[in-house]
Chains A and B, each alone.
Chain A
Amino acid sequence: MSDNSKSLIGTKNKMGQTYADIEDFFNGKIPKEQFFMTGSEIVKEAVKRSSVGMSISYPITPQSEAAALVGELWVEGYVDAYFRGEHEFAVMSECAGASLGGCRVFTTTSGPGTLRAYENFPMWSGGRLPIMLCLMVRGINSPLSIQPDTIEIGMLLDTGMLIWHAEDAQELFDFILKGYVVAEQPDVHLPIAVAIDGFFVSHTKEMVEIPSPDYCLLPYDPYRSPVPVMDMETAPMRVMRDPFVMKSNYISYMTHTSWQLEIRAAIERSRKYTRKLMGGSLIDVEDGDAEIILCTSGTAVSQSREAIRLMKAKGMDVGLVKIKSIRPFPTEEVKKALDKAKLIVVPELNISGWMAKEIKSTIDRNSRVMVGPHVAGGMTMPPEIIVEEIEKEIALRKES
């Protein structure tokens, strides 16, 4: 029982879109066009080409616009079912129900919404539900901030979900399409959070190049799922998703633990597919042999690039490692890329420093890591400040 849906390639769906292989969206086979659009607008374009079965929405800044645009797709016929739920916990539960019923599901949330929904995330992973969550990160109360802050990504690290962090709108588009293909692999089959920095990416316009809307992803095949879909059309009929295994006799707690290990294993299995679709690596490296490396994700990378330009103009030896996949964390790639660096700088748009912790626990000689600079709640991190902080750090280290 191999991938039957591949036989659909070249045929058309009810909207007249032609099913295509994921590679063709990015290798030039499908004609592309340039547009000037925001991250929110590109979400609509991505979902339009992703053969999404169900999307459920709820208002919270800054993802409301994207969520509402997906609703327009439903009216147009590109998304089979859509509605507004009553709060994020309910929305994520409704997404779970839809995924259990065999649909490809798309949803979005931000900040406080993420926390409200949180109990669902490990349930999604444990239940092997390949739901896509477009996370437009913003501040977590208290105090309240609607502006970008990546602290919530740090809170999702152990939920068992895949987590990719897109730097800009172009990457967001790419990650949504690619994300479905990776998440739905039968040996992966996990929920995936595709994160962007709210406002910086969702609300600013940039030039993007996207493939024609006349093509779409192959549909989700629930019968390739590693767990039975809940539709009374597949065996076995005596199945509950998912029972307390603790009540089973004999090493039942081992069953529970093995189950959770399996989820961790599924994350590992995604590396192979992710590598292939992310252009060969879960990280991007520029001037990797430099003495000073800025290593981070999201728009902190964009700011870092500008800082690097300024530092190079001063004659400093500096490079960049951009982390695209947070879970699975690109351990081997990061170890290798940072092996020669003398100073590793981790600028983050949060005060928890979760990225720095990930890096420090991955590499050896982790005293090379400079934790920060940090901003939070939407505070900007101008490149000049990054440069200043690095120069201060260098001076400090020279002293000691």
Chain B
Amino acid sequence: MRNYKVVAGPEAYLPPAAATMGVELPDEGGALIEGSLATEEEALEHAAKKFLEAKVPTLFPGPLVLWNWRDGVEKKAKAVRDMFETLKEVAIPGQRPMLIPMPDYRPKYPKIDAETEINPNHPNLTIWHNKIDVCMFVGVHCHFANISLKIIRGETNCYTVAMCAQHGHEDAMMTFRDASADKINQLSAKIRELAGK
């Protein structure tokens, strides 16, 4: 049970929650890569590589960073924006970075416009439609992030990264914890560094 690896899917008809397979969240200062504990430095490097190798590297900002609801949010939103700009800057021909919001969590009828948004009730639609192969969630309430991540792992082959402000998400292929504007900026810097820019 302890050897469960959280890798890109499509995994199963209904993938198990990684926590029930023995994967534990990292302590402060740590991160998770595919179900195993890692240092934050290792995670930054790994995530940056994944983004640089992706055909459609995508950022999914959620309500907590899209809506300017309290002090500190605008700074974080800017960091997300900067990361998107970084991805565009270092993109090579054939790469198409995307920035798609999750403005809220409600089940929309009849379905969402998969080009302009992502929704936790059917995140796979957005992933499939845009052929997203690596993505990062940021500013999404943990409960809805976890549901999205499980569905994505079950239904798609997308590689997920969670930039979590709380304790992290073991249902993502990799997760940071205690996310802040600074941490997001660090990731952007790492991407630039590895791209040789």
Chain A residues near B (Cβ < 8 Å)? 1-2, 128, 185-187, 189, 223-228, 233-240, 243-245, 247-252, 254-255, 257-259, 261-262, 264-266, 268-269, 271-272
On whether A272 and B25 interact (CB within 8 A), knowing A1-B72, A235-B66, A255-B122, the answer reads: yes
Q: Contacts A187-B167, A252-B121, A255-B147 given: A247-B109 contact, CB under 8 Å?
A: yes
Shortest distance in angstroms between A208's beta carbon and chain B's nearest beta carbon? 32
> In the bound complex, do residue B122 and residue A268 qualify as a contact, i.e. CB atoms below 8 Å apart?
no
Closest B residue by C-beta to A270: B19
Closest to B111 in A: A249
On chain A, the residues within 8 Å of B179 by CB distance are 1
The listed residue (B107, B143, B171) touching A243 by CB distance below 8 A is B107
Whether B104 lies near A186 (C-beta < 8 A) is no
Query: CB-CB < 8 A to A261: which residues of B?
Result: 14, 16-17, 20, 150
- Which listed residue, B107, B122, B143, touches A226 by the CB 8 Å rule? B143
| Contact status A268-B19, CB under 8 Å | yes
Q: Are B17 and A187 in contact (CB under 8 A)?
A: no
The answer for the CA separation of A271 and B25 in the assembled complex, in Å, is 11
7 example contacts (A-B, Cβ-Cβ < 8 A) are as follows A187-B166, A226-B142, A236-B66, A250-B124, A262-B143, A265-B171, A272-B25
A337 to B122 Cα, complex, angstroms? 43
B155 partner, pick from A245, A251, A269, beta carbons under 8 A: A251
Shortest C-beta distance, B173 to chain A (Å), equals 16
Bound form: Cα–Cα A264–B171 in Å: 13
Q: B30 on the interface (CB 8 Å rule)?
A: no
Whether the Cβ atoms of A268 and B20 lie closer than 8 Å is: yes
Q: Is the CB of B151 closer than 8 A to any CB of chain A?
A: yes
> Counting chain A CB atoms within 10 Å of each CB, which of B108, B150, B179 scores highest?
B150
Using CB atoms, name the residue of chain B closest to A259. B147
B3 to chain A, nearest CB (A): 14
Q: Which residues of A contact B121 (CB under 8 A)?
A: 245, 248, 250, 252, 255
Q: Is the CB–CB distance between B103 and A236 below 8 Å?
A: yes
A255 touches B120 (CB 8 A): yes
Distance in angstroms from A267 CB to nearest chain B CB is 8
CA distance A243 to B122 in the complex (A): 14
| Nearest B residue to A234, CB-CB | B69
Q: Name the residue of chain A whose CB is nearest to the CB of B25.
A: A187
Determine the chain B residues whose CB is within 8 A of the CB of A265 once the complex forms: 17-20, 146, 170-171
Dominant SS among interface residues on chain B: loop
- Asked whether, in the complex, the Cβ of B107 is within 8 Å of the Cβ of A252, the reply is yes
User: Which residues between 136 and 176 of chain B lie within 8 Å of chain A, taking CB atoms?
Assistant: 141-144, 146-147, 150-151, 154-155, 165-168, 170-171
Q: How far is the CA of A223 from the CA of B141 in the complex (A)?
A: 10
Contacts of B165 in A (CB 8 A): 1-2
Contacts A226-B142, A252-B122: A245 and B107 contacting too (C-beta < 8 A)? Answer: yes
- B residues apposed to A, CB below 8 Å: 14, 16-20, 24-25, 63-64, 66-67, 69-70, 72, 103-111, 119-122, 124-125, 141-144, 146-147, 150-151, 154-155, 165-168, 170-171, 178-180
A residues in contact with B72, CB < 8 Å = 1
**Residues in B whose Cβ lies below 8 Å from that of A187:** 25, 142, 166-168
- Indicate if the CB atoms of A249 and B122 lie closer than 8 Å: yes
Q: Which residues of B contact A233 (CB under 8 A)?
A: 69
A239-B63 Cα distance, complex, nearest whole Å: 11
| Residues of B contacting A235 in the complex (Cβ-Cβ under 8 angstroms) | 63-64, 66-67, 69
Is there contact, CB below 8 Å, between B107 and A248?
yes
Instruction: Say yes or no: A254 contacts B151, CB within 8 Å.
Output: yes
Chain A contacts of B110 at CB under 8 A? Answer: 249
Q: Contact at A262–B17, with CB atoms within 8 Å? A: yes
A1 to B122, CA, bound (A): 27
Q: Nearest CB to that of A185 among chain B residues?
A: B167
Tell me the bound Cα distance from A17 to B112 in angstroms. 50
Q: Choose one: A1, A189, A236; the contact of B180 (CB below 8 Å).
A: A1
Give complex CA distance A1, B19 in Å: 23
B44 smallest CB distance to A (angstroms): 18
A258 engages B25 (CB within 8 Å): no
- Shortest distance in angstroms between B17's beta carbon and chain A's nearest beta carbon? 4
**A-B residue pairs, 6 tightest by C-beta:** A248-B107, A235-B67, A226-B142, A265-B17, A265-B19, A236-B63
| Inter-subunit contact A249/B146 (CB<8 Å) | no
- Closest CB-CB distance, B101 to chain A, in whole Å? 11
The complex places the Cα of A244 from the Cα of B103 at a distance, in Å, of: 19
Query: Shortest CB–CB separation between residue A377 and chain B, in angstroms?
Result: 36
Asked if A236 and B125 make an inter-chain contact with CB atoms under 8 angstroms apart, the answer reads: no
Q: Is the CB of B67 within 8 A of A236?
A: yes
Can you name the residue of chain A whose Cβ is closest to the Cβ of B169?
A187
- Residues of A contacting B19 in the complex (Cβ-Cβ under 8 angstroms): 264-266, 268-269
**Complex Cα–Cα for A128 and B143 (A):** 8
Q: Are B120 and A227 in contact (CB under 8 A)?
A: no
Which chain A positions have C-beta within 8 A of B141? 225-228
- Kindly state the separation between the CA atoms of A2 and B105 in the bound complex, as whole angstroms: 23
- CA A326 to CA B14, docked complex, whole Å: 26
The CA-CA distance from A245 to B124 in the complex, in Å, is 15
| CB neighbours of B16 from chain A (8 A) | 261
- In the assembly, what is the distance between CA of A384 and CA of B154, in Å? 55
Chain B residue nearest to A331 in the complex (CB)? B1
B105, B143, B150, B166, most chain A CB atoms within 10 A: B143
Q: Closest B-chain residue to A271, C-beta based?
A: B24
Chain B: minimal CB distance from A328 (Å)? 10
